[in-house]
């Protein structure tokens, strides 16, 4: 292992060392050193100011020399160190220092200056530790949001001494030090054409071609090349090829995740690597228990990017461990985890419970992006979680100014889709109305339309904004550069207009022009109604035929003049007798049978979705007697049908009786 010397009095040792700022600079005239350092560091970080790069040193260019009167000299910009203790007490030989202690101290520092001060107290430094120190400095530079390191760090003599051997003699570095130094410099906005980077990359390529890099080094090199040269570089293909030849049992969990990240960057070549990906997906099942929350999030993100829909066993197993780690995820990690579960269609009641506890405990401190994603997860999976939705409503009321228009729309759409009103509904919609009045034009037209349509699903009709929706100006904005409006937007406009007629008779504003109205809400795509469950439909049809005595006494899939499609319609005369469906005279009452399968309810519940609730609500306003039917095929059809007819939401109990005249069945309220 190479040792890097940071002290002047050890600069002539024969083994490989960094000639610290004292030795490396003392041995040459100041002007010559000044010029050499300037030329060497000029191209490193593109974010440096364009003014000439200058390195300032004291007359002896050293920090540790004692002056004749015993006082220390301190370079400009360097912290002053206490000299209460003897100077030699700071000189620690890292050959004998426990590496764990070194890395522990290194990770405990919170600024680059602290790292440099610590390094400055050391006598010799193995190259792997020097590379780790360089990486820590760059990590903190990135954490501070800088594109490059500050000039104070670049001009620091310890930092310069730390970097010299990585540029001048990379062939003497160990594999670990080599790839770690390369990885460190790619954390910041580094000029790819700098001598330092070019030399490091060249040495890595040389060792790669000789097959001299182990698994971890290949993974680090692969990720570094992606950042420096992009995923299309030829060297990266060689890295992946060599990784494919390694046994996955030799990979640490961190290396497996790094492998996912490398392949994620090459999504356009995912098909070429699918066989390799299948092996990785299968092997990853055995390491899930050893993954940190960060690594779990990264794997799920990669699986989404690589469209690994066939890796559902891995997704499911990751989901089980996600439940355990929910409180430990950062906001960004949790958001990506939930986005992956949305993408793969994964849901788990234990995950829902863990999310409920997490969201409720951090209600007003969660990042808006996380709140939005958690809400989208519940909405997409049709999960009616009252704790989550209540927390979301509270967050909106208290922190609406932190939410973007699209995030606000996502929150309200969830309430509409799941047909749920939180306890603070009055505060929620008052706040929403104030926000819309203030920022109406800030909402994209389609986003605004979805938001207001969602309000109508849960009977909070946006009457104050309907006139704006039907105005030519808004419709033109909604149209944008398209030649015609999409089907979903037209359906939402039509249902809002129908709502203003049926449920808001006091609305006297502009009407929606006929050319913007649809004829049916049930379409193959972008439908505002849920298609009937076919198996359930067949059972009901069979029961009706047996019970009524013929197919002519009911009609199925009837499109009403008000755009809704009724699963089954039965016509009754004034006395309650069933009429053939072809008869249009003497119809006193119409019964709408809603054959509600599981897809019309929230997940694992009997709570209707918003689009089904508004349909049944408005059918009642139109004069239909709405009866919900939900039976299983294993039941006695006639008995089940009779029981189903006794289940009537919101209207008097209805049932068929056996009173009839001849072959004419009868239906009355008994």
Q: Which of 45-49, 202-206, 228-232 has the lowest mean pLDDT?
A: 45-49
- 214 Cβ neighbours under 8 A, 6+ residues apart: 175
Please state the rounded mean pLDDT for residues 261-290. 93
Q: Which of 83-97, 125-139, 326-340 has the lowest mean pLDDT?
A: 83-97
Count of residues for the chain? 670
How far is Cα 110 from Cα 104, in angstroms, rounded to an integer?
Answer: 12
Cα 375 to Cα 384, 391, 642: the distances in Å are 10, 10, 39
Measured at the alpha carbon of residue 444, what is the angle toward residues 441 and 450, in degrees to the nearest 5?
Answer: 110
* Nearest residue to 663 via CA among 575, 548, 541: 548
Q: What pLDDT shows up at residue 568?
A: 93
| Model confidence at 659: pLDDT above 50 | no
Residue range 379-434, pLDDT digits in tens: 999 999 999 999 999 999 998 999 999 999 999 999 999 999 999 999 999 999 99
Tokens of 196: 């330092």
Q: What pLDDT shows up at residue 363?
A: 81
- Cβ-contact 661, 576 below 8 angstroms: no
| Model confidence at 638: pLDDT above 60 | no
How far is Cα 294 from Cα 330, in angstroms, rounded to an integer?
Answer: 8
Reading phi first (left if > 0) and then psi (alpha if -120 to 50, else beta), residue 61 is in left
Q: What pLDDT shows up at residue 147?
A: 62
Please state the rounded mean pLDDT for residues 365-374. 89
Q: Which of 114-128, 468-482, 544-558, 649-663 has the lowest mean pLDDT?
A: 649-663
Exposure class string for 275-285: b at 16+ Cβ within 10 A, else e: ebbeebbeebe
| Model confidence at 156: pLDDT above 70 | yes
| Model confidence at 208: pLDDT above 80 | yes
Q: What pLDDT shows up at residue 21?
A: 37
Strand partners, 190: 45
The model carries a pTM of 0.77
Categorize the per-residue pLDDT at 335 as very low, low, confident or very high, splitting at 50, 70 and 90: very high
- 329 Cβ neighbours under 8 A, 6+ residues apart: 293, 297, 322, 337
* Nearest residue to 406 via CA among 367, 455, 450, 343: 450
| Model confidence at 636: pLDDT above 70 | no
Chain-centroid distance of CA 145 in Å reads 22
Q: Which of 51-60, 66-75, 191-200, 640-649 has the lowest mean pLDDT?
A: 51-60
Q: Where are the domains of the chain?
A: 3-191, 534-645
Strand partners, 572: 578, 589
Residue range 468-504, pLDDT digits in tens: 999 999 999 998 877 788 899 999 999 999 999 999 9
């Amino acid at each position: 292992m190479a040792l890097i010397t940071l002290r002047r009095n050890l600069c002539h040792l024969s083994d490989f060392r960094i000639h610290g700022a004292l030795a490396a600079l003392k041995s040459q005239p100041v002007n010559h050193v000044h010029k050499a350092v300037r030329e060497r560091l000029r191209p490193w970080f593109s974010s440096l100011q364009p003014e000439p790069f200058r390195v300032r040193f004291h007359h002896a260019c050293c920090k540790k020399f004692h002056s004749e009167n015993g006082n220390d000299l301190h370079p400009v910009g360097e912290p002053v160190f206490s000299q209460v203790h003897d100077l030699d007490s700071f000189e620690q030989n890292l050959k004998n220092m426990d590496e764990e202690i070194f890395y522990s101290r290194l990770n405990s520092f919170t600024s680059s200056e602290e790292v440099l001060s610590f390094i400055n107290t050391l006598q010799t430094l193995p190259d792997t530790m020097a590379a780790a120190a360089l990486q820590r400095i760059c990590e903190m530079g990135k954490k501070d949001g800088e594109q490059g390191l500050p000039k104070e760090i670049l001009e620091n003599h310890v930092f310069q001494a730390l970097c010299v051997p990585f540029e001048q003699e990379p062939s003497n570095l160990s594999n670990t030090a080599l790839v770690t130094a390369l990885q460190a410099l790619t954390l910041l906005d580094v000029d790819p054409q700098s001598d330092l980077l070019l030399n490091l990359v060249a040495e890595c390529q040389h060792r790669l071609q000789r097959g001299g890099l182990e698994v971890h080094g290949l993974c680090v090199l692969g990720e570094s090349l992606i950042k420096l040269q992009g995923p299309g570089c030829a060297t990266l293909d060689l890295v992946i090829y060599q990784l494919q030849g390694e046994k996955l049992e030799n990979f640490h969990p961190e290396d497996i995740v790094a492998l996912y990240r490398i392949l994620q960057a090459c999504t356009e070549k995912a098909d070429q690597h699918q066989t390799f990906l299948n092996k990785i997906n299968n092997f990853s099942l055995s390491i899930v228990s050893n993954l940190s929350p960060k690594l779990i999030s990264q794997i799920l993100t990669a699986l989404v990017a690589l469209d690994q829909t066939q890796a559902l066993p891995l997704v499911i197993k990751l989901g089980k461990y996600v439940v355990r780690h929910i409180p430990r995820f950062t906001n960004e990690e949790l958001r990506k985890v939930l986005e992956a579960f949305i993408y793969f269609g994964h849901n788990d009641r234990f995950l829902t419970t863990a999310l409920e506890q997490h969201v409720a405990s951090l209600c007003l401190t969660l990042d808006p992006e996380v709140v939005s994603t958690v809400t989208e997860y519940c909405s997409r999976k049709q999960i009616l979680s009252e704790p989550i939705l209540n927390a979301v409503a509270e967050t909106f009321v208290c922190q609406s100014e932190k939410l973007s228009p699209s995030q606000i729309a996502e929150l309200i759409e969830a309430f509409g889709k799941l047909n749920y009103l939180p306890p603070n509904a009055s505060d929620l919609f008052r706040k929403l109305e104030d926000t819309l009045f203030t920022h109406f034009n800030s909402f994209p037209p389609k986003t605004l339309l979805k938001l207001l349509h969602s309000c109508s699903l849960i009977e909070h009709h946006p009457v104050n904004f309907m006139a704006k929706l039907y105005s030519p100006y808004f419709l033109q904005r909604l149209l944008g550069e398209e030649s015609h409006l999409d089907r979903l937007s037209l359906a939402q406009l039509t249902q809002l207009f129908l709502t203003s007629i049926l449920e808001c008779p006091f609305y006297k504003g502009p009407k929606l022009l006929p050319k913007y109205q649809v004829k049916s809400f049930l379409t193959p795509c972008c439908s505002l109604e849920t298609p009937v469950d076919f198996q359930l439909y067949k059972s009901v049809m069979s029961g009706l035929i047996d019970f009524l005595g013929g197919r002519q006494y009911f009609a199925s899939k009837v499109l009403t003049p008000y755009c809704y499609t009724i699963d089954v319609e039965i016509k009754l005369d004034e006395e309650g007798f069933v009429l053939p469906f072809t008869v249009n005279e003497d119809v006193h009452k119409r019964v709408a049978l809603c054959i509600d399968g599981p897809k019309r309810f929230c997940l694992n519940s009997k709570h209707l979705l918003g689009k089904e609730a508004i349909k049944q609500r408005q059918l009642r306003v139109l004069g239909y007697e709405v009866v919900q039917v939900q039976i299983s095929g294993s039941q006695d059809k006639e008995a089940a049908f009779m029981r189903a007819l006794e289940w009537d939401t919101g209207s008097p109990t209805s049932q068929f009786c056996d009173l009839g005249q001849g072959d004419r069945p009868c239906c009355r309220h008994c």
